Structure 1
Amino acid sequence: MADTVDLDALQRWIREFARLIAEHKEMLTELDSAIGDADHGANMDRGMAAVVAALDSEAPGRPAELFKRTGMTLVSTVGGASGPLYGTAFLRMSAGVGDAETLDADDLAKVLRAALEGITARGKAVEGDKTMVDALSPAVAAFEKAVGGGQPLAEALDAAVRAAEEGRAATIPMVARKGRASYLGERSAGHQDPGATSVTFLLAAAATSLG
């Protein structure tokens, strides 16, 4: 495909994700207060603010460096499960792009797949467990299907966002089987998963910045 994104576009993606997290920090915390430790919004906001500060202090030279710095910063600054999970996702993304200076739609599909595989390997969660995987997994599948069908990058990203939103909504009736929410058992049903919510912002930021 002709669609390609460069380092500047990828940086805009990370910065837009940080902006969305900051904008919805209280909402994420409210969601987490129902089934978790009530810290997802604050933790992610602190981590993404640190990522933006790191990018401001020294510009990365390649996409792999951008993703690696993002991942390492999140691991070191975000508490709970979110730091290791998001950190692993970005570190896997870094490994997946190699020395590439620009990414096309097929490259982005591989990067998103690598992120999902990193999260599932680290968290041992699958679809239906009421976690961020419930939004990310269908989003990655939708993006891959769109790219494989020859759709433009912007349309493929929009398809990924729609799938993430549907996956996020699907977590509401689920009974959690992983993470802090699983301790609640049946009481975890009826609440939207905060991780699935924040990962939907990651996809929405990609659609805004890369499409």
Structure 2
Amino acid sequence: LDFSFPVLLTLLWIAIQFSSSMEREWREWQQTSAPSQSITVVQIMQSSLITFTFGTILVLMLALAHFDVLQKLGFRLNDLRQQLRDGTVGFLLALLPVIALLLLTYPFRSEESLHPFFLLLKAQPHLSTISWIFISAVIIAPLFEELIYRVLFQGWLERLLPPVAAILVSSFIFSVVHGFPDCIPLFPLALVLGTLFYYRRSYFAIVVTHALFNAINLAQALANQQNSF
């Protein structure tokens, strides 16, 4: 993927997310930040709308700038069953290392380090809350993050670096922006996503892998919520 305006916007977005993550981690390390604050359903709705709109704009600009190579960037409708199968296999391959690292990082997890979605779920376990968290985490996030980190960022890095290096760099950045300790178990997932995208060149497949992972996390959170009653 050649450098273009969609790539520039992607790099700016990643830079903002990366710097925000580093600042947040530094403040937590200095013990000057407050515990994670829950968000509202309205904020999730607004964030989902903004993210979806920005992602749509990126895809449209990508189509205008690189229409002739869209299929090579993973946007293809052929062999959908195979793409679905590849995405499912990717999820299964990532599952064991992710679970292992989740267990290893358990001592570092606390109420303060919970994702804001889970804090909201604990405070307001209503159908509307669950529905919007599902839309945001299982649909919007995989669509947007795979577009940003794999299609655009990794696709551009592959023009500059060897494939292994491009996958490692994009996976590292993707993991770090999610903060500690989540970045550790997310790294093998990111490696699987990057490798799957490189070899299969399927946007649909990596979105499926990512969506299944987030769906399992949400299901586990809901199960824990039920067990707490």
TM-score bracket, shorter-length normalisation:
0.3 to 0.5
Structure number with higher helix proportion: 2
Using the size of structure 2 for normalisation, the TM-score is 0.32
TM score, norm. by length of structure 1 = 0.34
Bigger RCO of structures 1 and 2 (CA < 8 A, at least 6 apart): 2
Greater gyration radius: 2
